[in-house]
Amino acid sequence: MFVSLFTLSLATSLYAQSGAALDIDVKDQDSIKSVAKTLAGSIVDLYKGDLKEDLIPGLFSSPYYWWEAGAVFGSLVDYSYLTGDSQYDDLLGEGFEHQIGEFDAFMPTNQTKSLGNDDQSTWGLAAMSAAETGFTTKKIGNLSWDVLANNVFESQVARWNEETCDGGLNWQIYQFNNGYTYRNAISTGNFFLLAARLAKFTGNTTYAEWAEKAFDWTEKIGLVSEGYIYDGTDETQNCSEINRIQWSSNNGIYTEAAAHMWNVTTDNKWKNALSGFANSTFRSFVQENILREVACELNGKCNVDQRAYKGIASRSFARAIASAPFLSDLLTPLLEASAKAAAEGCSTKDGTVKCPLKWTTKDDGEYGLGQSFSALAVVQALLVPNAKPLATKSSSNGTSNGSPAADTPAASGSGKPAENEGAADTLVVSRSLVVVIAVLAAALL
Ligand SMILES: *[C@@H]1O[C@H](CO)[C@@H](O)[C@H](O)[C@H]1NC(C)=O
Ligand SMILES: *[C@@H]1O[C@H](CO)[C@@H](O)[C@H](O)[C@H]1NC(C)=O
Ligand SMILES: *[C@@H]1O[C@H](CO)[C@@H](O)[C@H](O)[C@H]1NC(C)=O
Ligand SMILES: *[C@@H]1O[C@H](CO)[C@@H](O)[C@H](O)[C@H]1NC(C)=O
Ligand SMILES: *[C@@H]1O[C@H](CO)[C@@H](O)[C@H](O)[C@H]1NC(C)=O
Ligand SMILES: *[C@@H]1O[C@H](CO)[C@@H](O)[C@H](O)[C@H]1NC(C)=O
Ligand SMILES: *[C@@H]1O[C@H](CO)[C@@H](O)[C@H](O)[C@H]1NC(C)=O
C-alpha cells in the first residue's frame, strides 16, 4: 500500500469554507469550460503530486483505490473531448499504459487484491470513453480502445455465474478475496453498460444480447425492482435476500445502459425501464433538482469511494440523454442545478481547489479526490449536448486494429495470489456501513 503524505493531508484535512467560489453560468458553454478547466487542473495537480511520490502512473495514492483512478481517467478523457483542451492527453495515455495489465484487459496482477469485476469494468468503461471520443495516444502501442473494452467484456462473459442465483457476476474476480460471494448491482450493472456501449459502438448484436441478459437477471433476482436499484445479494443464500441500500452511481449506470439499449433497439422495454429509473432517481436522490448521496450524506458516513458516486451518476445521466433524448426534460434540469450547486460549493484558496461532498448545502469541510471528480463530472456533463458526435467502430479510423485478448484468466479463483501493490487496501465498499445505513435509508425512502 502506498501512503503519500501529500495526498493524505489534502484528503483528510478540514478546511474552513473560504476563498473564491467557482462561479458558473450553466447556460454558457464558455463559463462551463472555464470551470471544468479549473477542476481538471486541480485533479491533475493532485495526480502529479502522487507521481512525484514515486507512484506508478495510473494510480492515486492511498486512500484512493485502483478503481477510482479508472473513473477519474475516464472523465479526464471526456474532458479532453468535451473542452478541446488536450494538454493532459500524454499523461493520461501513460496512466492507461501502466494499468492495462498483462492480459490486455485491465487486470494487472499486482492489483489482484483489490480487483473486483466492478473495478475492472470501471477501467473498461474508461477505455470505452477513449474509443467513443477518438482519444489517441502512442502510449498503448498497437492496442485499440475498443479491443481493450472487448477484452474486459469477454473476460466477464466467461465469469457469468449460473452455479447459483441463475446468473449474475460475483463482486470479486478471485475467490480468495473478501466479498467474493456477494453479487452486487454495480458489477452486473457495469457489465450491462459496457455491453450496451459496445453494442452501440460496433453494431454487433452479441453485445446487445448480453446487455439484455444482464438487465433481465437483475430484475429476476430483485436487484432491480420497480425502477429501484439495490446494492446486492449473496450467493450463499442463492440470492434470496436483497440488501436494499441505494447508490446514485447505480442509478446513473443502469440509466445510461438502458438509454443505449433504447438507442440500439428502440424497444419499449427500455423506455419503460428508463421511466422506472427516472422515478427512483428523483424519489431517492434528488432535492430541488440537486443530487445527494442519500444513504451516507445525511449521516456524514460517506466513505472515500462513495464520495465519487454522484460524479459517476452525473456523467452517465449526460450520456443517457444523448442516447435517449426524451430524457432531457427530466435530467437536464437535474444536471444544471447539480452542476451549479457543486461548482459554487467549490472554492479556490492559494491556488488549490476544494469541492464539498454535499451539493445541497455546500457546508461540509471534507475535501478529496472523489468530491473534485464529482464536481468535474457534473460540470462537464453540461457540455455533452454540444459535443461533436461520438465515434463508432466504422467511423473511427483504425480502431478496429489491435491485438486480440491474451489468454485472459476468466475463471474465478484461477489467478494466483499476488502481492498487493494497489493504492489502497482491499475494497469494503459495498458491504461496509450497509447494515447501519440500510436502516436509515429504508426510513427515508
Ligand atoms: C503493476 O503492473 C503494471 C502492469 O503490468 C505495471 O505497469 C505497473 O508498473 C505495476 N505497478 C507496480 C506498483 O509495480
Ligand atoms: C436459486 O435461485 C434461482 C433464481 O431465483 C432459482 O431459479 C433457483 O430455483 C434457486 N435454487 C434453489 C436451489 O433454490
Ligand atoms: C460480435 O462480438 C462477439 C463478442 O466479441 C464476437 O465473438 C463476434 O465474433 C462478433 N461478431 C461479428 C459479426 O463481428
Ligand atoms: C413513475 O411514477 C409515476 C408516479 O409518480 C407513476 O405513474 C409511474 O407508473 C411510474 N413509472 C414506473 C415505470 O414506475
Ligand atoms: C441515438 O443516439 C444518437 C446520438 O448518439 C441520437 O442522435 C439519436 O437521436 C438516438 N436515437 C434515438 C432513437 O433516440
Ligand atoms: C486512416 O488511417 C490510415 C492508416 O492508418 C491513415 O493513412 C489515414 O490518414 C487515416 N484517415 C483519417 C481520415 O484519419
Ligand atoms: C502489437 O505489438 C506487439 C508488440 O510490439 C506485437 O507482438 C504484436 O504482434 C502486434 N500486434 C498486431 C496485431 O500488430
The model's pLDDT over 69-83, given as tens digits with 9 standing for 90+, comes to 999 999 999 999 999
Residue 12 CB coordination number (10 Å): 12
What integer pLDDT is reported at residue 372 of this predicted model?
97
364 confidence band (pLDDT: 50, 70, 90): low
Nine cell digits for residue 1: 500500500
With a 6 Å cutoff on the Cβ, whether 142 touches ligand 7 is: yes
Q: Is the peptide bond before 108 cis (omega within 30 degrees of 0)?
A: no
CA distances from 402 to 98, 140, 144, 191, 406 (A): 17, 10, 5, 22, 11
CA distances from 428 to 89, 98, 177, 304 (A): 32, 24, 11, 11
Check whether 415 has a pLDDT greater than 60.
no
- The DSSP symbol for 109 reads G
Residue nearest atom 1 of ligand 4, based on CA coordinates: 279
First to last CA, the chain: 38
18 confidence band (pLDDT: 50, 70, 90): low
Ligand 6: lining residues by beta carbon, under 6 Å: 397-398
Q: Is the pTM of this model over 0.75?
A: yes
Q: Which amino acid is at 359?
A: W
397 confidence band (pLDDT: 50, 70, 90): low
Q: Span 19-33, mean pLDDT?
A: 93
How far apart are alpha carbons 212 and 192 in whole angstroms? 7
395-409 residues labelled b (16+ CB within 10 A) or e (exposed): ebeebeebeebeebb
408 confidence band (pLDDT: 50, 70, 90): very low
CA distances from 350 to 15, 42, 336, 346, 393 (A): 12, 12, 28, 13, 45
- Mean pLDDT of all residues belonging to the chain: 87
Residue nearest atom 2 of ligand 5, based on CA coordinates: 323
Q: Span 211-217, mean pLDDT?
A: 98
- Report the range of poorest mean pLDDT among 167-171, 358-362, 399-403: 399-403
Percentage of the chain modeled with pLDDT above 90:
79
The alpha-helical segments, DSSP class H, found in 222-267 are 248-265
How far apart are alpha carbons 353 and 443 in whole angstroms? 35
317 confidence band (pLDDT: 50, 70, 90): very high
Residue 211, C-beta contacts closer than 8 angstroms, at least 6 positions apart? 192, 193, 195, 196, 199, 257, 260, 261
Looking at per-residue pLDDT, the higher value among 424 and 51 belongs to 51
What integer pLDDT is reported at residue 396 of this predicted model?
75
How far apart are alpha carbons 185 and 401 in whole angstroms? 33
CA distances from 174 to 179, 214, 325, 409, 423 (A): 10, 20, 39, 10, 18
With a 6 Å cutoff on the Cβ, whether 209 touches ligand 1 is: no
15 confidence band (pLDDT: 50, 70, 90): very low
What integer pLDDT is reported at residue 21 of this predicted model?
87
Q: How many angstroms is it from 286 CA to the middle of ligand 5?
A: 26
What integer pLDDT is reported at residue 443 of this predicted model?
30
Owner of C-alpha cell 495516444: 137
Q: Span 395-405, mean pLDDT?
A: 47
Check whether 441 has a pLDDT greater than 50.
no
Q: How many angstroms is it from 203 CA to the middle of ligand 6?
A: 22
What integer pLDDT is reported at residue 419 of this predicted model?
35
Q: Span 78-93, mean pLDDT?
A: 98
How far apart are alpha carbons 319 and 253 in whole angstroms? 10
